[in-house]
Each structure stands twice: as C-alpha cells, then as structure tokens.
Structure 1
Amino acid sequence: MIMNHLKTAFAMSALGLLANTASAQQVPNATPDRPISSQDRFYTSDQFSNTVSVIDPSTNRLLGVIKLGDLTPANLSPLYKGQLLVHGMGFSPDGRTLAVISIGSNSVTFIDTATNAVKHTAYVGRSPHEAFFRPDGREVWVSVRGEDYIQVLDGKTFEPATRITVPNGPGMTIFSPDGKYGYVCSSFSPETVVIDTKAKKIVGRVAQASPFCPDIAATPDGRQVWLTLKDVGKVMVFDAKPPFAVLKTIDTGAITNHVNIARTSRGQFAYVTVGTQNIVKVFRTDTFEQVAAVPVGALPHGLWPSGDGTRIYVGLENGDGVAVIDTATNRLLTTIPIGQGPQGVAYVPGAVPSGDGMANLVPLDMASGKVQLTLSGQGQSQVTLFDQGQVQILQAAVAGLPSKQPFTLGLATKADGTGAIQPLAKFMTNPAGAAIVNAVGPIRQIVADAAPAERRYLVIRTGDPDSQGAVVQKQAH
C-alpha cells in the first residue's frame, strides 16, 4: 500500500514537472525553456551596414559581424553580388539555420549558425520583409511585402515550393506553436489573414485598425496573437483560434515597431517597442494592463526573448546597439554596440553546439561610426548620421507634428532655420504625426564638423521643398 502511494505520488510529481516544463516556453516554436549559455546567439539584421551582428548572450559581448553587402555609395551601382538593406530575420526550429531578408536585393540568405557561413541564397519577389520557418522545419514562409503573396520555400533545399495569395503587402508571418495556423498581417491592406498551413488556404480574416502592420507575434500558450500598427501607434490582440475575434486594441505611441512575448516566473508578458519615445512598453497578456515602460535608447525596433524568458534583447535602430532588459525587474541591464540600423532580430538557443562560434566573423569596423542630433520645436525628432566613409546615411525619427501633412527636412544657413534651405528630403507624416525620414550625403561635415562660418543646421519646415514654409523643428545646439 505504501509503495502504491509512493508510486502515485511520484507519478503526480512527474506529471507536474512535465506540465511546468511544457508551460515554460518562448516563441516562436514553443520549445521548453533553456537557460542562457555560451552556446546561444543573438543576431541583428543591420540595414545600413548590410551586416548581421552576432552576440554571445552569456557575456553580452559582440563577437563580430557577418558581412553580406557593402556600404554606400558602393551599393548605388548595379548590384551583381552581395545584399542590400539587410532587414528581416528568422531561424529554424533546430537552431542550425538563420534566415536573413535583404529588402533591397529581394533575397533570403541562409546562414549556418555554427560556422556563420552562407549556405544558400534564395531570390524571391519584390521587397520581402520577414521569413519564418514553420515549427516542423519543413517550410520557410517569406512575406513578399512589395507584392501580394507568401513565397513558400522548402525547409531543406530552400528552393521555391509554392505561393499563397494574400492581401496586398504582407508584412510578416508568425505561426501558432502547434504549426496549424500561419498568421499574416499586412502593411498595405487593413486586414490580417489566418492560413491553414496544411491546406495553404485562408481560413480566417481579422480587420486591422490601420493598413500598416510590420510585425506580429503569437503567444507560446497558443491563445493570442499580437500585432503592431506602426502608422497609428497601436497594438491589436486577437484570439489565436476560430473565429479569431479581436480581444483588445491598445494605444502605444507613434512608431510602434515590433512586439514579442516572454513567459516568465511572474506570468506571460508582451513587450512592445515604441520608437519615438525610445521605450519598450510591457503588458500583461491576461488583463492587457501596462506594467512597465523601459527606457532603452534611440528608436527601438526588433526584440526577442532569451530561451528562458529572463531577458529581452532589443535592437536600437538609431542607436547602433542592443539593449538588454531583465524581465524580472523590467530594467535595462546593458547596451551592446553593433552594426548600423538594426531591424529584425533573433535569439537562437543552442545555435553553436560546439566550439567558439567565431568562424567567418569580421570586426565591426566602420559600422560603429555615428553622430546623433536632436531637432526640437513643435514636437521632437531624433536624427542619426550613420558613417559610410565618404558619405553618411541620415535617418530621422520625426514625432509631434500634425498628421498627414507634407514637410521638408533641409539644411539652413541660419541657426533658427529661417531663410533659404537646401532640401534633403520631402516627407508626409502618418496618422500619428510621425515619420521615418532618410537622406544620403556628406551631411556630418557641414552640420557637426564645419567651421562656424560654413556650418549648416538641420531644420524641418512645412510644405514642399520649393516653398518657404514655417519652421516647425530645428537642430538643437
């Protein structure tokens, strides 16, 4: 009798351990928790240096970068080799393959995580955005945002298999943990679709509150899907199962970039990057209550949990860095310097099964050079000049202006921004009164390094480049 009780108690204990292990999972493939180790890697897609930065999360140290393309102006010539605008990122369920999207060269580069070597490059349709492996590893789904389909690649050969037609401008696909559904949000159409991965047919539709969704995440418990709406500064949450009903829409802030989920000892939380506020907002997934806002640095973009959910790693698009958040306290632990303009990111547990994982990495080199400026007035904008050698890429995260209005970013001879200006870029603000604005040229030399008599000042004025619009923001001294 005593032995039977012991057997019963042992069996119940074992079931409890299995249940705990099964419930402690991170996205996207809902694998059991794995403590941070030197075998893990965190990767960022660096859009302006055309590199992949490789970090050892056990030491929070940059090991080096994988060079996929050249700096500007070399990539302004016909591009016969190398990749341009390295942007999106996904990885295989076994952690052995990284899939890297380059939106300017329409490619998916497959990298061996153990050796950092490129093992295949697949070319797809116009301006792909993200690529993710199905949880069983048999397929890779590429969101071809410049067109209206998902390009499905074979998960082993990486050759094209089929296409799935979706609403125009698919932004990203994420899968349910069991692999039954693929959730595809749109960047140009106000609709997310749910696809049966076996039948390759749309089985559900979710109306988006705006047309521009860049990022989507499924909770590891298989109950919810979260997506970001960058143009209106919101996140939406819908039921991961039929009828895929919308559960909540939350105002988060202008340039809401990415969302990801971490399951911790305190519960399951959604982490959302808010670009113009330089913070990561944290929400409970049961009550949707905001529990924290973590200052991280310039223009946070992609983010991903560690394999055990104890850390969130955040790419800082205008900060050339990775911010590391402790999920137990929701405090910033450290910031790691990386390549230029990180966009998509991935944390891959057990990426390097043996050895130091340093093969085929090169130093950061010029990609570490940047100058940061602030424009203030009506609202505030953060500007980063990414050094490319002869020239710089300028990227401004504009905020606080009237919505859906034309403006011009230019160089003024007067510090107050008045008088004639040399236009750099014309742009239109989104519904949240924000915009991401880009330009290329020898800008640092005249706004930061020039002698006083030759210096120019960055300004934003209303209207088109050929108009004498009012000054709304000017460079802080």
Structure 2
Amino acid sequence: MKTLFCAILGFVLTGGPALFAQATPQESLLVLSKVDRTLTIVDPVSLKAVAKVPAGDDPHEVVASADGRFAFVSNYGYGAYHTITVVDLVAQKVQRTVDVGPLRGPHGLAFAEGKLWFTAEVAKAIARYDPESHQVDWVLGLGQNRTHMIDVFPGASRIMTTNVNSGTVSILDKVTVQPQGPVPGAQTDRPNYVQPHGPPVDWNQTVVSVGKGPEGFAVSPDGKEAWIGNGLDGTVSIVDLAAKKVVETIPAGIPGINRVKFTPDGRLVLLSSLRNPYLTVFDAASRRKIRQVPVGHASEGILVQPDGARIFVSCSPDDSVAVIDTKTLRVIGRIAAGHEPDGLAWAVRR
C-alpha cells in the first residue's frame, strides 16, 4: 500500500508516470522520447533515469536554460503543431506550454542571451521567445524552405540555420542601420524629433548553397567554419564563415546524415545517420574519416559532454542512448530513456 501511495504521489508531483522519486542532479542529461512524448532527466554518473516529464506532442529538440533550471522542447509534427513545452527541471513538471501561433513547426532550438531562439519550418522563419515576459518578442522571415536547425553565436550578433528543402544554409549578421537625416538645407517641420530607441537594427542574410537535404550542422569551437550534413546525397559541406562560402565538399558516403557535432577541443567531428548503424567520426583538421562506431540500427541526436569525456547518441530504432568513450571511441554503456529517443541536451544548475 505504501508503494502504491508513493507512486500516486509521484505521478501528481511530476505530472506524469512516477517511476522515479529522485531529485534532479546539478548536472543532468536530458533525453526526449518522440513516441512516449516525454523528457527523461538522467543522472550522468549512474546513467539512470531519475524522472520523466510530459514533453508535448511530437517532441524533437530540447535545450536547457543558462541556469540549468528549465528545459525548452519543440513540438514539431512537420508543421502540425505550434507549441513549445517549458519544463521545470527542479520541480520535474511542465511549467507552461507556449503557443507560438502561426510559427508552425518549431524545431531547432538555441538558448542565448537569456532567450530561446527557434526555427519555424512552415512559417519559413526564425523567432525568439522571452522566458521573462512569456512572449515571442522577435520574428525574422528567411524565405527558405524547411528552416530546420539553428545556432546562435556569442552575443547573438550572428545566427546560422539549415534549410532542408532549399538545399541552403542562411548566415544572418546583425547590423546597425544609420538613420537618414534631412537633406542639408531642407526645411523640416520636426525640429525637435529625436529617434527614441537609438539607431535601427537590421539583419543581413547570406544564403549559401550546399548539398541536398541539409539538416544537422555544427560550428567549430573557434567559430571559423561550419560542417553541414547533407542527408539526401550523403555529403558534408564545409563553410568558411568569414568568406561565407563552401570551401570543401566531402563525399562522406553517409546516407541520411542527421546530426553533426564537434568535440569541445575541435579535434573530432561526429555524424549520426538515420540510415546506417554507425556514428561516423572525422578528424577535423585532415577532413578524413577515422572511425565508424557501431551504435545500433540508426542514430539521431548527438551530445558531447561539456568536458569532452563522453559522447551520447540517440539510437531511435533501438530505444536507447549509446554512451561512447571519446578516447577509445567505443560504446561503454546504454541508457534506457523511452521509445525512439531523439533530442538531447545537457543542463547544469547554477
């Protein structure tokens, strides 16, 4: 009877199945299950789940706030949905569901400068959500088809996205536009007018053609280049971010490239695939394939532990997350975190 009571109490407290009654660790691995529609909080030391929280319809990507107290989940559905689920990681429950209205198909996520940035595929746009005001406070249309993943650079002065069906990436640079004053010598009926909010800001978009079906991409730790995985032709496009152009296309031979990640030291580039059983590893400097790590039938999300010691890979068909030692590039463990795991994130409570 006591066990049943604890289970019921846990269900009430977490808002979902109460198989766990442990506090969220200071550092935690977050795993989304698309089928179960849950976010699992995992202790990265024991590799055991400590809580499961509802994550909304068709959860695909997840990111943590800078203070590690909240997680944001995109509810995708190829445009069928238009919500972002906010999870309180300390209380282990949904804090709120944000309706982003016409910004349908939210997918890629980034947390920067205290705000959540996300792609909206159907709207062909990117947008920003303010957790303080609980409002979407900025939207920018890109005019590209299926804007999918997003990276926001330090200071939020540059943003990069992949656009799957357009076969492009967008590089967006924030610029200050000098206001045009009156023509010298001309009469004006607004002699006392002062621009109330300072000089206007604009965004310059550079559209770079890459391979077919670009989805996952990663920016090198030094910010000099981006590797883009082209899922439909199995190639990798390397973009020089200063020149804003493709400088090399690697015939990687990886059909269904899904996600791309650098290790924190910038030495290795990791690529998952929806259509082969490996995590493929490239040496970033030589651009050469150095290892194919068997992980399961296929793989999706990739996350590298902040200290670079381990790699986590969502093996969706196998209902597990593979844990890989970065030094040996061998699978050293498995995490059970629901059916068809996908998006991964790391949260550090500060």
Q: TM-score range by the shorter chain?
A: 0.7 to 0.9
SS at match of 1:58: coil
Instruction: Give the Cα–Cα distance (whole angstroms) in 2 for the partners of residues 192 and 208 of structure 1.
Output: 7
SS at match of 2:293: strand
Which residue number corresponds to residue 255 of structure 1?
256
- Check the 8 A contact 2:312/2:323 in 1, yes or no: yes
1:155 positional shift: 4.3
Are the structure 2 counterparts of residues 226 and 95 from structure 1 closer, same or farther at C-alpha, using a change threshold of 3 Å? farther
Which residue number corresponds to residue 15 of structure 2?
none
Instruction: Give the Cα–Cα distance (whole angstroms) in 2 for the partners of residues 200 and 130 of structure 1.
Output: 22
Which residue number corresponds to residue 110 of structure 2?
132
| Equivalent of residue 189 in structure 1, options 166, 169, 176 | 166
1:308 positional shift: 0.3
Instruction: Give the Cα–Cα distance (whole angstroms) in 2 for the partners of residues 214 and 302 of structure 1.
Output: 12
1:130 positional shift: 1.7
Which residue number corresponds to residue 245 of structure 1?
245
TM-score where L is the length of structure 1: 0.59
Instruction: Give the Cα–Cα distance (whole angstroms) in 2 for the partners of residues 262 and 107 of structure 1.
Output: 31
Which residue number corresponds to residue 223 of structure 2?
222
Instruction: Give the Cα–Cα distance (whole angstroms) in 2 for the partners of residues 185 and 200 of structure 1.
Output: 20
Instruction: Give the Cα–Cα distance (whole angstroms) in 1 for the partners of residues 92 and 342 of structure 2.
Output: 19
Give CA-to-partner distance per residue, 1:131-178, whole Å, 9 cap, x none.
2112x22x3221111221112222433311121111122011112245
1:38 positional shift: 4.9
1:94 positional shift: 2.8
Are the structure 2 counterparts of residues 203 and 94 from structure 1 closer, same or farther at C-alpha, using a change threshold of 3 Å? same
1:114 positional shift: 2.3
SS at match of 1:263: coil
Are the structure 2 counterparts of residues 38 and 51 from structure 1 closer, same or farther at C-alpha, using a change threshold of 3 Å? closer
Instruction: Give the Cα–Cα distance (whole angstroms) in 2 for the partners of residues 200 and 58 of structure 1.
Output: 45
Instruction: Give the Cα–Cα distance (whole angstroms) in 2 for the partners of residues 38 and 289 of structure 1.
Output: 38
Aligned-residue CA RMSD (Å):
2.0
SS at match of 1:214: strand
The residue type paired with residue 180 of structure 1 is: S
- Check the 8 A contact 1:106/1:126 in 2, yes or no: yes
TM-score where L is the length of structure 2: 0.79
- Check the 8 A contact 1:270/1:285 in 2, yes or no: yes
- Check the 8 A contact 2:123/2:141 in 1, yes or no: no
1:294 positional shift: 0.7
Give CA-to-partner distance per residue, 1:63-111, whole Å, 9 cap, x none.
232123xxxxxxxxxxxxxx21111112223322211011133211122
Which residue number corresponds to residue 26 of structure 2?
39
Structure 1 residue 89 corresponds to structure 2 residue 62: yes
1:193 positional shift: 0.9
SS at match of 2:300: strand
Instruction: Give the Cα–Cα distance (whole angstroms) in 2 for the partners of residues 120 and 295 of structure 1.
Output: 39
Q: What does residue range 71-470 of structure 1 map to in structure 2 within 5 Å?
A: 83-104=56-77, 105-124=81-100, 125-134=103-112, 136-137=113-114, 139-166=115-142, 167-197=144-174, 199-210=201-212, 212-241=213-242, 243-250=243-250, 251-264=252-265, 268-348=267-347, 350-351=348-349
Which residue number corresponds to residue 5 of structure 2?
none
Instruction: Give the Cα–Cα distance (whole angstroms) in 2 for the partners of residues 315 and 177 of structure 1.
Output: 27
1:216 positional shift: 2.1
Instruction: Give the Cα–Cα distance (whole angstroms) in 1 for the partners of residues 84 and 299 of structure 2.
Output: 24
Bigger Cα Rg: 1
- Check the 8 A contact 1:176/1:240 in 2, yes or no: no
Instruction: Give the Cα–Cα distance (whole angstroms) in 2 for the partners of residues 328 and 92 of structure 1.
Output: 29
1:194 positional shift: 0.9
The residue type paired with residue 319 of structure 1 is: D
Identity of aligned residues (%): 24
The residue type paired with residue 309 of structure 1 is: G
Gaps of 5+ in 2: 1-23, 176-200
1:226 positional shift: 1.8
- Check the 8 A contact 1:193/1:202 in 2, yes or no: no
- Check the 8 A contact 1:233/1:255 in 2, yes or no: yes
Are the structure 2 counterparts of residues 197 and 321 from structure 1 closer, same or farther at C-alpha, using a change threshold of 3 Å? farther
Instruction: Give the Cα–Cα distance (whole angstroms) in 2 for the partners of residues 177 and 309 of structure 1.
Output: 20
The residue type paired with residue 102 of structure 1 is: N
Bigger mean CA deviation after superposition, 246-255 or 100-109:
246-255
Bigger mean CA deviation after superposition, 328-337 or 193-202:
193-202
- Check the 8 A contact 1:204/1:244 in 2, yes or no: yes
Q: What does residue range 55-74 of structure 1 map to in structure 2 within 5 Å?
A: 55-68=42-55
1:55 positional shift: 1.2
Instruction: Give the Cα–Cα distance (whole angstroms) in 1 for the partners of residues 229 and 117 of structure 2.
Output: 20
Instruction: Give the Cα–Cα distance (whole angstroms) in 1 for the partners of residues 40 and 299 of structure 2.
Output: 16
Are the structure 2 counterparts of residues 179 and 233 from structure 1 closer, same or farther at C-alpha, using a change threshold of 3 Å? same
Gaps of 5+ in 1: 1-36, 69-82, 354-477
The residue type paired with residue 208 of structure 1 is: V
The residue type paired with residue 220 of structure 1 is: P
Which residue number corresponds to residue 180 of structure 2?
none
- Check the 8 A contact 2:76/2:105 in 1, yes or no: yes
